[in-house]
Chains A and B, each alone.
Chain A
Amino acid sequence: MRRLPAIVAAVAVFLGGASSAGADVSVTVDRTGVATGLGKRFTVRSIFANPGPGEARGLVAHLNIASLRPGVYVDPEDWSTSRTRYLDPIPAGGSATVRWSLQAVNAGTFAVYVAVLPQDAAGRPPTVGRTVRVTVAERRTLDAGGILPLALGVPAAIGVAAGGLALRRRRLVSPG
């Protein structure tokens, strides 16, 4: 019975080693800059490496986007529909790669970054990779000039034709 506390402590140490925290995992990204156009799609790959001696499990990777200039509203959900990934266990010395698909829905300069944190992350800071600077150029949008005559003219022309037909029909069926 004297050995019981020692066995419990050894098991605890073993289990602790087997499920490394997010702080033990490093995050790298495949690029640090993206130049694209409004509405275009692009991808960022992040690599989660586990240099520790034990398997890293229960990790959550998360992507976020922020504008680097004030006055630009950013809704990250518009940029990427899948911003949170639950990673498979990463073996000791191994790594996992996640491909993030994004669409540039605002023009301006933005920062995209990836963080990883353990599922039992209470009170522990996440590990964050390098920032990817995304520059989104404006695109040529529609020239509204001339739309009003078209928007009114086409229905008016069809309306006149339909009215003429209705008048002709009425004359044909009216007595005399």
Chain B
Amino acid sequence: MSAERAAPGWWVVLQQELRDVWLGGRGPTLALAFSLILSAVAYLVATNTALNFLEQREAVGLIVQVSVAMGGLLVVIAAADTVSGERDRGTLEALLLAPVPRRQIAAGKLAAALSLWPAAFLVALPYVWFLGRGVGVVGDAVVVGLLVGTLLALELGALGLLLSLFAGSNRVSLALSVFVLLALFAPTQLSAGAQQGWAGDLMLRANPLTAGVHYVGRVLVDGHSFGRDADLLVAPAVAVIALCAVVLAVSGRLALRPGGAR
């Protein structure tokens, strides 16, 4: 009489996708590229006399900011491939024929893409420890990096999946995702003067990426408490909720061709 309870559809999709990402080689390759970038940044920060102007807290802040940003890039690349990649490879039809609700297919794929973030964070930990040892910021760096990185990974993963649902090809999906990511990061390159005043401050706080990256700086470089600049996390949190809600709403219309036409 004891009927075996079937695993939920999203869990089955997640397991399959995790195998594809991690055993298929894409995840380890991206993790390797990520570690090479962190190695280059850490080596430059520690040895270059011009950059060695940086105080240790600033160096830790820099490596956490780079980790969070690059982790977001990994997630958005993986998420942008989820649906449009299946379309391009001609495997979406078989997936849609599986007895799994389409929202659960999207949820499983998003969760698998998000698995790149914790892996990236694990890779970043030795660098954070090396740069932060002796000044007592390693614990703060781990907590703030995990908090901000998870928020950014969630919003960028949802964004990548959303673009992948509607893109006509995988190339378009990837290009659009990276373009949006770069556009969101562009304000961090503005001069300090341009970031001052109410307009600059509003832009900094309204953009979830710049707000998150600045929060990391406030906690690690300026030594502020976690609660003092918590308002900077409002935009990332709102972006996560809004983008995940939109993905849930539109993923029910997942179809062989973008826009719902079969």
- Of B38, B39, B54, B123, the residue contacting A142 (CB under 8 A) is B54
Instruction: Quote the shortest CB–CB distance from B45 to chain A (angstroms).
Output: 7
Known contacts A144-B47, A152-B39: does B32 contact A158 (CB below 8 Å)? Answer: yes
Contacts of A141 in B (CB 8 A): 52-56
Contact, CB under 8 Å: A165 / B35: no
Contacts of B123 in A (CB 8 A): 154, 158
Contact, CB under 8 Å: A142 / B46: yes
Contacts of A39 in B (CB 8 A): 53, 55, 58
Any B CB within 8 A of the CB of A98 = no
Q: CB within 8 Å of A: which of B8-30?
A: 22-25, 28-29
Any A CB within 8 A of the CB of B138 = no
Interface string of A150-163 (1 = CB under 8 A from B): 11101100110110
Instruction: Quote the shortest CB–CB distance from B70 to chain A (angstroms).
Output: 14
Q: How large is the interface on A (under 10, 10 to 19, 20 to 34, 35 or more residues)?
A: 20 to 34
Contacts of A154 in B (CB 8 A): 35, 38-39, 123, 126-127
Contact, CB under 8 Å: A147 / B130: yes
Contact, CB under 8 Å: B58 / A144: no
The number of chain B residues with a CB under 8 A from chain A is 34
Contacts of A72 in B (CB 8 A): none
Any B CB within 8 A of the CB of A146 = yes
- Of A38, A146, A155, the residue contacting B130 (CB under 8 A) is A146
By beta carbon, the residue of chain B nearest A101 is B196
- Of A143, A146, A151, A162, the residue contacting B31 (CB under 8 A) is A162
Contact, CB under 8 Å: B25 / A162: yes
Any A CB within 8 A of the CB of B189 = no
A53 to B74, CA, bound (A): 68
Contact, CB under 8 Å: B43 / A151: yes
- Of B29, B56, B193, the residue contacting A162 (CB under 8 A) is B29
Interface string of A24-64 (1 = CB under 8 A from B): 00000000000000110000000000000000000000000
Any A CB within 8 A of the CB of B191 = yes
Contact, CB under 8 Å: B31 / A81: no
By beta carbon, the residue of chain A nearest B196 is A81
A166 to B24, CA, bound (A): 8
Contact, CB under 8 Å: B47 / A169: no
A155 to B39, CA, bound (A): 8
Any A CB within 8 A of the CB of B174 = no
Contact, CB under 8 Å: B46 / A147: yes
By beta carbon, the residue of chain B nearest A82 is B193
Instruction: Quote the shortest CB–CB distance from A75 to chain B (angstroms).
Output: 13
Any A CB within 8 A of the CB of B219 = no
Contact, CB under 8 Å: B43 / A81: no
Contacts of A165 in B (CB 8 A): 22-23, 25, 28
A139 to B23, CA, bound (A): 46
Q: CB within 8 Å of A: which of B105-146?
A: 123, 126-127, 130-131
A159 to B108, CA, bound (A): 27
Interface string of A106-147 (1 = CB under 8 A from B): 000000000000000000000000000000000111111011
A169 to B22, CA, bound (A): 11
A109 to B43, CA, bound (A): 31
By beta carbon, the residue of chain B nearest A41 is B222
Contacts of B35 in A (CB 8 A): 154-155, 158
8 contacts between A and B (CB under 8 A): A38-B53, A81-B193, A81-B196, A142-B52, A162-B31, A165-B22, A169-B24, A169-B25
Q: A142-B45, A162-B32 are in contact. List 18 more A-B contacts (CB 8 A).
A: A81-B192, A81-B193, A141-B52, A141-B55, A142-B59, A142-B131, A144-B47, A144-B52, A146-B130, A148-B43, A150-B127, A151-B39, A154-B127, A158-B28, A158-B31, A161-B28, A165-B22, A169-B25
A residues in contact (CB < 8 Å) with B: 38-39, 81-82, 139-144, 146-148, 150-152, 154-155, 158-159, 161-162, 165-166, 169
